[in-house]
Amino acid sequence: MVEHLFLKPADTLSALISVKSIDVSLSGIADSRTEHPLKQLLILPQDSLRDFDLRPGQLKEDMVINPPFDFHDLASGTVVRIGSVELRLTFHCEPCSKIKTIVNPKKIVHRRGYHSQITKAGRIQLGDTISVLTQFFEPIPYAFADRIKWYLQRHPAPIYAADLVNAIGLSASYCRAVPNVLRHRDDIDSNLILYKSKRV
């Protein structure tokens, strides 16, 4: 069941706005900040708030649900229906330094919520139930290096590190880590990744 819904102002420093329903299109949530295509809607199960003594909205989620199963255990690629909206679960939200003042990022790994991509538009309201559909999309790896490999296998063309990091749904701060992450990954063609210093 949907317990909380939020809209995100364009100003990232502003507080979330609690609402009773949201209208969802294939491009995102109406009247809310536009997010990455693989991270259009962040769903957080109530047990994560309870186990870490957090309040709804503190983790910048779009909705809080209370499903009758372990939501984080669902595989990437699973499709869920909430209200009249259908969502493809993409990957767990990675804890970052922005939340370290309210919770230990290391302890909340794989409990921080699930990012999703909208596959069917509609409306979600408080009290709506969540169901898992039989449809299934290709899973997206959670680990940084594995996600880079996943992307390059599907787009085997040279790409700047900043564009690559953005394409796989991570912030620009990850660019610095790309060389180190790939140092021991012989299964990834590092020649496909270009860096700013190599631009002409």
Per-residue pLDDT tens digits for 23-32: 999 999 999 9
DSSP3 helix / strand / coil % (the chain, rounded to 5): 25, 30, 45
Q: What is the mean pLDDT of residues 139-153?
A: 97
The pLDDT tens digits for 64-87 are 999 999 999 999 999 999 999 999
Domains of the chain, residue spans? 2-136, 144-198
Phi, psi of 5, deg, nearest 5: -135, 145
Choose which CATH entry (3.30.420.40, 2.40.33.20, 2.40.50.140, 3.40.50.1360) describes domain 2-136. Answer: 2.40.33.20
Whether the predicted pLDDT of 200 surpasses 60: no
Under a CB-based contact definition with an 8 Å cutoff, are residues 3 and 65 in contact?
yes
Under a CB-based contact definition with an 8 Å cutoff, are residues 38 and 151 in contact?
no
- Alpha-carbon span 6 to 18, nearest angstrom: 5
Query: Using 50, 70 and 90 to split pLDDT, how confident is the model at 139?
Result: very high
